[in-house]
Structure 1
Amino acid sequence: MRLDKFLKISRLIKRRTLAKEVADQGRITINGNQAKASTNVVVGDELTIRFGQKFVTIKVTDLRENVRKDEAETLYSVMKEERIESDNEDE
């Protein structure tokens, strides 16, 4: 499954176009490698996504074409969340 589609279905990112933009900006890695929106995601992959001032690392646990909102979190497990420490708080 394409990365942008997985991010939308799992509801990590609300819209597929936004998921594509985030990937194009270089803010997503899969297993440590820079990912494009079209990169294929498989079960077991480790995704690191930069959301503003934090990094979220998840592990893909399931891939499905359609999933209800309350089941979306079953597609991944959060491994860690890290805040990005800024040296310059004034900027």
Structure 2
Amino acid sequence: MRLDKFLKVSRVIKRRTLAKEVCDNGHVQVNNRVAKAGLEVKVGDRVEVNFGTRKLVFEILELKETVPAKEAASLYKVIEQ
């Protein structure tokens, strides 16, 4: 699954276009490497998203095309916030 799509499906970022923009501006790292929106992510990847002064680090637990909003947080495990 593409990184920008995962960020949207998991509701880490609400819109896919915004997720793509954040990735392309270098604010997202996957496994300690700067990642573009089209990067294929897999279970076990460690993702770090920088929101200006706030940083979110999480591990991908599951990949799904769609999930209800209540279950979105079950797709990843927060490591650092």
Instruction: Give the 5 Å matches for 1:40-79.
Output: 40-79=40-79
Tell me what 2:15 maps to: 15
Superposed displacement of residue 54, structure 1: 1.3
Unaligned 5+ segments in structure 1 are 82-91
Q: TM-score, normalised by structure 2?
A: 0.98
The number of residue pairs the alignment matches comes to 81
Unaligned 5+ segments in structure 2 are none
Moved over 6 A (4+): none
Looking at structure 2, the residues matched to 55 and 73 of structure 1 have their Cα atoms a distance apart, in angstroms, of: 17
Sequence identity of aligned pairs in percent? 49
Looking at structure 2, the residues matched to 61 and 68 of structure 1 have their Cα atoms a distance apart, in angstroms, of: 16
- Structure with higher Rg: it is 1
